[in-house]
Amino acid sequence: MTFHPRERRIAGGIDRRAFLRQSAFTAAAVAAGPSLLAACAGDDAAGGGGQAVPLSRPDNPVTLPTFDDIPMIADGLEPESGPLKIFNYAEYIAPQTLRGFRRQYGVDVDVTTFTSMDEAIARLSGGQAPFDLFFPTTDVIAKAALGRLLQPLNASYLGNSGNVWTQLQDPFYDVGAQYTRPYSLFTTGIGYRVDRVTQTPDEYDNPYDILWDPAYSGDLYLLEDDREVLGMAMLRAGEVDVNTEDAALVDAALADIQALDDAVNPRIGVEAYTILPEGRATIHQAWSGDVVNAQYYLPEGESIENVGFWYPAEGGGMIGSDQMSVLVGAANPVLAHLFIDYLLDVDNAHTNFEWLGYQPPQTSIEPASVVADGLVPAHLDTTVIRPEDFDNGYQLLQLSLAGERLWDNAWSTFSAGA
């Protein structure tokens, strides 16, 4: 299980700006690209009949099943009277956005939060979830659809879908965009203190090597996420299948990370957005949004110029996104659709982005304009995500249960300090 940037093991009242953290695995790339991602069609062991969950990959698009007893809503219905119930991470939608929707449709909006996707799925699958709109990560969509948690979307309510990047309009993880619309994007790179590194990652032969540099011993953080860390080791070694279930590859990545541990004694955490600006570490494997948010956590006298972010400009880095879906049994499905459409609107998405820091996959938002609008300092334009990044990047996607066990065990070995 990977973490979403907003996840914390313990319910964490994350600060208003703190959501940027985790990039969910949702990979929104329909990357044709040089992807060696194998098409593992679910071979989940675990006894207990039932279909296996299809594992979508960029070169193995999956059409999620629909069920006769879960129809999409009819066209042209009137919006309900609400209140609209949203099930989401804490502080993941701008208050201005919620207010705007309330004013436009004259309904109340309630947000119930969860702290981890696991918890959310457990709650939804347990049936105690009277919500309308849900924000899943890419890796749980197949499970949720197969597990009859989601209802198919009626595109007639979602006119703004065209505002989204083309790669995401008919994504491989949800062919035909039956159940989802994309919400936000994030990449995983290396955050660092410009004033404290002797060389920036770019200046190394292999930029990832900065994480293995003994000069930063005791001064470095890795993300608390098995897929992100081991996946990063794979990317460093040139192995691009970050969703592999090949034990040899995972073991090799583990060995690399253990070498990193020996060289650098890293700490594990997910608070790059405070650790970097406060200078509690010099290097931190970080999500793009963390670094954008760092500018709001600067201590007195500190400048954002001192925080840098590296992401492979020519592509080939880790990337991900979040989705929006309507739940089965929603009491206000029309409102839910309208809210999705509201978030896909150009102006609303922009306003949301300003507060959230997570970049929405809107074609209208370009890296140059993001810097020009002052949302991101110029030297941090590496945090802005471009459509090509999806084509060239690698996403962390769902694994079979056996695969997850493999990665879990590898992480357990590493975190045991073995």
Partner 1 sequence: MGQRVVDVQRRRLKPRDRTRALWPGLALPGVAWLLAFFVVPFYGVLAVAFGGLDPIFGNAVPAWNPLEWDTTVFGDVLDRVVNAELREVYLRTFVYVGVALFLCFLIGYPVAYYVSRFGGRRRGLLLGLILAPFWINYLMRMLAWINLLQEDGYVNDILTGLHVTSSPVNWLEGRAVTVVFGLVYGYIPFFVLPLFAALDRIDRSVIEASRDLGMGPLRTFLRVTLPLSKQGMLAAAVITALPMMGDYYTADLLSGSPRTSMIGNQIEFFLFEGSQKNAGASLVVILSILLMAAMAYYLVQTDRATRELHRS
Partner 2 sequence: MTRLRTWWSNPWRRPAFLATGYWLYVIWSLVPVLIAVQFAFNSGRSRSTWQGFSLRWWFEDPDRSLWHDPSLREAMLNSLWLAFFTMLIATPLGVALALGLARWRGRTARASNLLMLIPLAMPEIVMGTMLFLVFDNLYTAIPLGRPAMLLGHVTFSVSYVVILVRGRLLTIGPDLEDAAQDLGASPIAAIRTVLLPLLGPAIFASLMIVFATSIDDFVISAFLSADASSQTIPIKIYSTVRVAPTPALNALATVMLLFTLLAVGLAVLALRVFRRGEKGSAVEDFATLDL
Q: Which of 40, 53, 232, 283 binds partner 1 (CB under 8 A)?
A: 53
347 — alpha (psi -120 to 50), left (phi > 0) or beta?
A: alpha
Pairing of strands 318-327, 133-134: antiparallel
Of 44 and 302, which CB lies nearer to partner 1 in the complex structure?
44
Residue 13 interacts with partner 2 (CB under 8 A): yes or no: yes
Residue 306 interacts with partner 2 (CB under 8 A): yes or no: no
Stretch that binds partner 1, among 18-26, 45-53, 77-85, 175-183 (CB under 8 A): 45-53
Partner residues linked to 26 by β-bridges: none
- Name the minimum Å distance from CB 126 to partner 2: 6
What's the rounded Cα separation, in Å, for the pair 274 and 251?
32
Distances (CA, A) of 104 to 99, 100, 362: 9, 6, 22
Residue 110 interacts with partner 2 (CB under 8 A): yes or no: no
Nearest alpha carbon to residue 255 among 403, 396, 414, 405: 414
- The structure tokens 């702290």 sit at 115
What's the rounded Cα separation, in Å, for the pair 408 and 1?
8
Question: Which listed option, partner 1, partner 2, none, makes contact with residue 114 (CB within 5 to 8 Å by class)?
Answer: partner 2
Q: Which of 15, 302, 345, 408 binds partner 1 (CB under 8 A)?
A: 408
Q: Which of 226, 256, 322, 389 binds partner 1 (CB under 8 A)?
A: 226
- Name the minimum Å distance from CB 413 to partner 1: 4
- Distance from first CA to last CA of the chain, Å, rounded? 21
Stretch that binds partner 2, among 5-13, 61-69, 323-331, 373-381 (CB under 8 A): 5-13
Partner residues linked to 326 by β-bridges: 133, 151
Among residue numbers 127 through 186, which ones bind partner 2 (CB under 8 A)?
A: 128
Among residue numbers 85 through 104, which ones bind partner 2 (CB under 8 A)?
A: 90
Residue 363 interacts with partner 1 (CB under 8 A): yes or no: no
221 close to 279: Cβ distance less than 8 angstroms:
no
Residue 119 interacts with partner 2 (CB under 8 A): yes or no: yes
39 close to 395: Cβ distance less than 8 angstroms:
no
What's the rounded Cα separation, in Å, for the pair 97 and 366?
21
Among residue numbers 125 through 144, which ones bind partner 1 (CB under 8 A)?
A: 125, 143
Size of the site for partner 1 (CB under 8 A): 43
Question: Which listed option, partner 2, partner 1, none, makes contact with residue 265 (CB within 5 to 8 Å by class)?
Answer: partner 1
Length of the chain: 418
Joined together, the tokens standing for residue 6 give 């907003």
Q: Which of 82, 147, 269, 387 binds partner 2 (CB under 8 A)?
A: 269
Question: Which listed option, partner 2, partner 1, none, makes contact with residue 241 (CB within 5 to 8 Å by class)?
Answer: none
Distances (CA, A) of 297 to 6, 197, 203, 302, 331: 16, 20, 28, 9, 39
181 close to 340: Cβ distance less than 8 angstroms:
yes
Residue 19 interacts with partner 2 (CB under 8 A): yes or no: no
- Name the minimum Å distance from CB 307 to partner 1: 19
Residue 401 interacts with partner 1 (CB under 8 A): yes or no: yes
Question: Which listed option, partner 2, partner 1, none, makes contact with residue 300 (CB within 5 to 8 Å by class)?
Answer: partner 2
DSSP 69-96: TSPPPPTTPPP----EEEEEETT-S-HH
Element holding 236 (H helix, E strand):
helix 226-236
Residue 75 interacts with partner 2 (CB under 8 A): yes or no: no
35 — alpha (psi -120 to 50), left (phi > 0) or beta?
A: beta
Residues that bind partner 1 (CB under 8 A): 1, 3, 9, 44, 46-53, 116, 118, 121-122, 125, 143, 146-147, 218-219, 224, 226, 261, 265-269, 401, 404-405, 408-409, 411-418
Residues that bind partner 2 (CB under 8 A): 8, 10-16, 18, 90, 112-115, 119, 122, 126, 128, 269, 271, 274, 297, 299-300
